[in-house]
Chains A and B, each alone.
Chain A
């Protein structure tokens, strides 16, 4: 196994780092996060032009067919800058679902649109009052002449505030397991309620009343497809988290070198030096976890699931520690919205919770 970046990956990383440097200064990000959309459509076009959206997509549907480790190189840099575009939702989570779905026509049409930056997708799976659970959907799907009608409620469709289409899990009347459908944001009978999450991203609740939908998957393989897509998403978010943690370490080290108390830079205090070293240990552990999860991402499902859950657990502990210590070592200034470290903390806390928190992964790991 080669752990070093290929020449192409280095170029990708450098390009992404430049994009972040030029577009994701603190004030620029803050303004975007406060805007109605929550990110920049112009940046989204840049993602498309640079080939980032096509990177992990299959070649037969307008993609570049690059290995997932290319996507994680990109995501580390986007995470370092806390980029707000819905890359993971659209180009990883939903794209993985589409790539493996049974509807050949929808697959090639929608993936081509994703690659070109022409559509933003969000998954609507979680439901009110329910913890994260893959094999359950109470939204119902009723067959009609030209497709299906969906009825019910979804919550927490991440990045849904900007989605042109939603992939919705629903159970076809008479079936036991859910299937996946795609609906348009403009569909009649669809009501959306948008809100923000603490990490700066947006989400929506969906109320579906006889909403026309196109079926993407059969109930027999939906759980398998969702599990694989959520695992890829988790690995993508791990990469983002590693970039974010490295940023936290870099800015905290810089801060304690310059912050003077008791007549010396506080970085001279061994207690704080050791804290930095502990953060370093956590991030090293996280990077190893990322590599290991990547190595198993295309393995048979049982091995993949175990590796991804193992990585999520290890990295979730790291994100909580590194994020919290980033604030702690900054002191009061770290608690302010006007300073970037708190935004990293919120991103790192959200990482642990999204689509399977530590408890969920721990349970999956010990009860396969």
Chain B
């Protein structure tokens, strides 16, 4: 990883914010693909490495350590497993190779303005008209919609059954007439989030994955495939290391902040919980047969991992003190290299901290996770 990632790409990957430059994403995916690592978690027959969970764990840790882009999430990690498990032979043939090579990027259309925590309440509809689905509705918080050429959408195809039963999983090219994308600026200045409006969007009947009405089940499958992802372990470990690096560059009364007892204790407190988080992930990866409810365990992991993102980035903020408050945009020279007054370890810290507030919201809020635990672990 370290030998093959271009330095400028690594730096942009680390400080460049959301979304990353598409040229960087494609270049990096190309580098990985050439090595055979375009999608190491996929089965070998589809171009993956077929690695076991521990090998993948080591791979991901090294990818983050090298500041490699962990991009293409929605495609390689979310829609691909669904296509592999439930898609037609034609869909597999059409979509998987182009995902692997970085020719196609995918975005996810699940959330809607009135279907966030209550996702089953989604109202975007798709109706069959001859050989085409006609989609009408609106999606929101669609990461990287503008950079993607394909989207996968949860849509309501049957309004007359129980909410979860009437949902289907549809694929649509993002340049289909009737799709309008509006970027949403997030509080750290990123432009990765979007609203996606769908107005009489027509896609071929074949763009349905699996069976109509099974979308909810597929979405759950997709989330279960990535049970340990919600710990954000690799991000958290890297960011703790970066927090230490920042602290080692800052001094207080001539002593490195990292060696100042008060700060060292703060770091140690966070690290203690992060160590536990890592072993929570390992327990799952090694297939522990826990007596606890599995979904409750995953929710606990999500809570721990999302709060950890906020804590490690807060450590970085605290290590910088007031100098963390400077606002940076883009990937100009002052962001890429820093300067004498504002060295390179400063840009990006505030943005990562601010964006980490979203971690306890996306992918099921902390409050929803707590409801799941209360219900599944205790029958409350």
Chain A contact residues, CB within 8 Å of chain B? 126, 128-129, 131-132, 153, 155-156, 195-199, 203, 205, 260-262, 266, 269, 271-272, 324, 327-328, 331-332, 334-338, 342-343, 345-346, 349-350, 353-355, 357, 359-360, 362-363
A226 to B324, CA, bound (A): 23
Q: Which of chain A's residues have a CB closer than 8 A to the CB of B361?
A: 327-328, 331-332, 334-335
Chain B contact residues, CB within 8 Å of chain A? 111, 114, 116-118, 121, 140-141, 184-187, 189, 193, 250-252, 257, 262-263, 310, 317-318, 321-327, 340-343, 350, 353-355, 357-358, 360-362, 365-367, 370-371
A-B pair number, CB within 8 angstroms: 125
Contact A324 B325 (CB under 8 A): no
Which of B186, B325, B326, B371 has the most C-beta atoms of chain A within 10 angstroms of its own C-beta?
Answer: B325
Contact B326 A357 (CB under 8 A): no
Partner of B365 from the list A262, A328, A353, A360 (CB cut-off 8 Å) is A328
A342 to B324, CA, bound (A): 17
Contact B322 A336 (CB under 8 A): no
A335 to B97, CA, bound (A): 35
Closest chain A residue to B113 by CB distance? A333
Given known A261-B117, A331-B117, A363-B262, contact A350–B325 (CB-CB < 8 A) = yes
Contact A345 B325 (CB under 8 A): no
Closest chain B residue to A339 by CB distance? B187
The secondary-structure label for the interface of chain A is mixed
Given known A332-B361, A346-B354, contact A261–B323 (CB-CB < 8 A) = no
Top 5 A-B pairs, shortest CB-CB distance: A342-B187, A337-B185, A261-B118, A128-B341, A196-B327
A126 to B362, CA, bound (A): 38
Q: How far is the CB of B177 from the nearest CB of chain A, in Å?
A: 27
Contact A332 B321 (CB under 8 A): no
Contact B366 A328 (CB under 8 A): yes
Which of B116, B186, B187, B342 has the most C-beta atoms of chain A within 10 angstroms of its own C-beta?
Answer: B187
Closest chain A residue to B365 by CB distance? A331
Contact A260 B114 (CB under 8 A): yes
Q: How far is the CB of B165 from the nearest CB of chain A, in Å?
A: 17
Q: Which of chain B's residues have a CB closer than 8 A to the CB of A346?
A: 187, 354
Q: Which of chain A's residues have a CB closer than 8 A to the CB of B263?
A: 359
Partner of B341 from the list A132, A205, A324 (CB cut-off 8 Å) is A205
Contact B184 A155 (CB under 8 A): no
Which of A331, A332, A336, A343 has the most C-beta atoms of chain B within 10 angstroms of its own C-beta?
Answer: A332
A359 to B118, CA, bound (A): 40
Q: Which of chain B's residues have a CB closer than 8 A to the CB of A360?
A: 321
Q: Which of chain A's residues have a CB closer than 8 A to the CB of B354?
A: 198, 342, 345-346
